[in-house]
Structure 1
Amino acid sequence: MDRLSLRTNLENYRTPFEEEASFIPDFTALTYDKNAFVRERLAGHFTGSAWIVNKRRTHALMTLHRKLNRWLQLGGHADGNENLLEVALLEAQEESGLTSLRIVDAGIFDIDRHVIPQKGEIPEHFHYDVRFLIEAEMNEPLVISEESKDLAWIPFDAVDDLVGFNPSILRMLEKTSKSEILL
């Protein structure tokens, strides 16, 4: 999924979630910026994430992010790569050590624009996060990267308590729970 297919997918993306729907015009507009896929664009830039679930759709793999000290999905900066599905898969593999990652659907699963706080010389900025639904085997050993404090398969019924009020995580959880994709 390069810049042009991302733009097309965003233009055609539909969601019943009002907050998520409100992001679509800004995401689409960002695809026209030549620096949209590099972190040096300090106003905000694209990131790619993987919402990793087990095949039975009972658990999500989450990381306790070292810098943000919050439980989140795996993912990261595009660093110039315009294929955000590829970014999401690479980040998921690097941050978990999993080799059983499998794309459930190459289309966009979720989008979220969120603020990243200032850290040192890097000012507060937005991440325009494009998320993809990925499956993995729960019995495969996990490898915690230096970007994480912890990594765990979280039962769906415990995600809400773990993340507190994080509407984007809760939205992905709801989408997954309603999903009839059981491959």
Structure 2
Amino acid sequence: MGREHRDLRTALEDYARRMPAHAPLADEFLALLDAPGEDPFSRARLDGHFTASAWLVSADGARVLLTHHRKLGRWLQLGGHADGDRDLPRVALREAEEESGLAGLRLQAGGIFDLDRHWIPARGTVPGHWHYDVRYVVAAGTEEGFVVSEESLDLAWRAVDTIAADPQADASLQRMARRWLAGAG
């Protein structure tokens, strides 16, 4: 077992202690981490694999940068596939940088912010599969001029309190917004 494997195990166990209601979900992530067979950090593992996302907050913590995801057609947090990288905090930071074009982003201390297991529908030759998304808080500096990447239809800074109250928002975005407002960030 490598360092990144141990680090993720420790982070998942810590998340389960901090968020007891989410402990069963954390157990599913731990089961994937320990599952035999194909690498759970590779998208080639079609029955489910790890992804990492960034709850990318503005310097004042009042807003979050969202992507209008090109493939899914929904407003979501920035993130993507691990593609073999077992350091999921690094993956979240890299995805935030690549998808936003923002410089000076930094991973906020505190470990895992949120976990979400969600179904990705079949697309082209890739069958439907599960994403085990591990989410971290990434903080922007004072520069907020983003660049829309080819993975997005658009990007927008949205007020966290607006997301928390928006019944049309993705359920996991609402959950993260409410957690952030409650001071878990």
Query: What TM-score do the two structures reach when normalised by structure 1?
Result: 0.90
Aligned residue among 60, 64, 71 for 1:67? 71
* Cα distance, 1:180–1:27 mapped onto 2, change above 3 Å: closer
Equivalences for residues 99-178 of structure 1 within 5 A: 99-105=103-109, 107-137=111-141, 139-160=143-164, 164-178=168-182
Moved over 4 A (4+): 160-163
Cα drift, residue 17 of structure 1: 7.1
1:88 aligns with 2:92: yes
* Cα distance, 1:48–1:163 mapped onto 2, change above 3 Å: farther
The unaligned stretches of length 5 or more in structure 1 are none
Cα drift, residue 90 of structure 1: 0.5
Cα drift, residue 139 of structure 1: 3.7
* Cα distance, 1:68–1:161 mapped onto 2, change above 3 Å: farther
1:55 aligns with 2:43: no
Q: Report if the CA contact (8 A) 2:49-2:130 is conserved.
A: yes
RMSD: 2.0
Find the counterpart in structure 1 of residue 7 from structure 2.
5
Cα drift, residue 30 of structure 1: 0.9
Hey, what's the Cα distance between the residues in 2 that align with 1:103 and 1:163?
29
CA deviations on 1:78-136 (whole Å, 9 max, x unpaired) are 00000000000111100000112122215111110000010011111000000001110
Cα drift, residue 13 of structure 1: 1.7
Identity, % of aligned pairs? 47
Cα drift, residue 147 of structure 1: 0.4
* Cα distance, 1:180–1:165 mapped onto 2, change above 3 Å: closer
Per the alignment, in what secondary structure is the counterpart of residue 9 of structure 1?
helix
Cα drift, residue 166 of structure 1: 2.4
Per the alignment, in what secondary structure is the counterpart of residue 157 of structure 1?
helix
The unaligned stretches of length 5 or more in structure 2 are none
Q: Report if the CA contact (8 A) 2:103-2:143 is conserved.
A: no
Query: What TM-score do the two structures reach when normalised by structure 2?
Result: 0.89
CA deviations on 1:158-179 (whole Å, 9 max, x unpaired) are 3257672522111110111111
Q: Report if the CA contact (8 A) 1:114-1:126 is conserved.
A: yes
Per the alignment, in what secondary structure is the counterpart of residue 34 of structure 2?
coil
* Cα distance, 1:51–1:180 mapped onto 2, change above 3 Å: closer
Q: Report if the CA contact (8 A) 1:70-1:163 is conserved.
A: no
1:40 aligns with 2:27: no
What amino acid sits opposite 2:63 in the alignment? H
Hey, what's the Cα distance between the residues in 2 that align with 1:128 and 1:171?
16
